[in-house]
Amino acid sequence: MNAITKEVSQANAELRKTAPLVHNITNYVTVNDCANALLAIGASPIMADDLLEAGDIAAISSALVLNIGTLNRRTISSMIAAGKRANECGIPVVFDPVGAGASKLRNDTVKEILEQVKITVLRGNISEVSFVAGLDVTTRGVDASAADGNRDAAAVAKAVAEKFGCTAAITGAVDVISDGKRIAKIRNGHPMLSKVTGTGCMTTALVGAYAGANRDAFVAAAAGVASMGIAGEIAYEKAGRLGTGSFHIAILDALSHLDSAVMKARGKLDEA
């Protein structure tokens, strides 16, 4: 077993032991899935997006997850307030810039959050993270474009990590994680994950859970991404042939049984 696989396995054990409280200001299309994914992995979710309480909830949480999937002006203020409070309290902030590059509002919001909030982990697809890196992108709504997929994901992740002093996680056929110094690649997952809405949002929430229980953001990001990939593989084996509905539920089942032993046995991680 290599070092990164051992580290993510230990991170899972720590998460199961500590049951971190994870504050989510997230996508209303997938909020229920994110909450259930957090419960399944052993964390405790709270979804609080009103400006009057966002900062207070962030202050008592183990991690904060910001997701702009269903963006509106009301929650932009809540995200920034919660992010600033989390920064003040030393609480990790995980940011998912969903659809970055697709509209002026999204682009402006991504820039505003990154200017006002210190991000611990940024998780997105290659188009979204390329936008954050300052590259021209051809985002397809909330999906990565084929043209952007030809980029060197490791180079993009490293550039974002260095630019913002964070860990960057790019998910795709091969996931790439970088904190500017270390680079890991993860080859877990199944193509059917792209046929169920919310798997990206759930992945970001899982990263938040691991970040809330582990000090090393690079390991937390790798563990969260690997957890969804492994769960996707197990879900397909159990229920994938029944259809996307059964596969969807099987993802949660797989996450609920995911422990350090399963991660050691099934993790396909390597570090450059």
Q: How far apart are CA 161 and CA 181, in angstroms?
A: 9
Task: Tell which residue, 175, 225, 183, 190, has the closest CA to residue 204.
Answer: 225
123 is in an annotated binding site: yes
**Cβ distance 207 to 227 under 8 Å?**
no
198 is in an annotated binding site: yes
Q: How far apart are CA 84 and CA 17, in angstroms?
A: 28
Tell me the three state secondary structure of residue 243: coil
Task: For the sheet with 167-170, list strands across it.
Answer: 44-47, 21-25, 63-67, 93-96, 121-124, 167-170, 175-178, 183-186, 269-271
Binding annotation for ATP: 123, 171
Binding annotation: 47, 123, 171, 198
Binding annotation for substrate: 47, 198
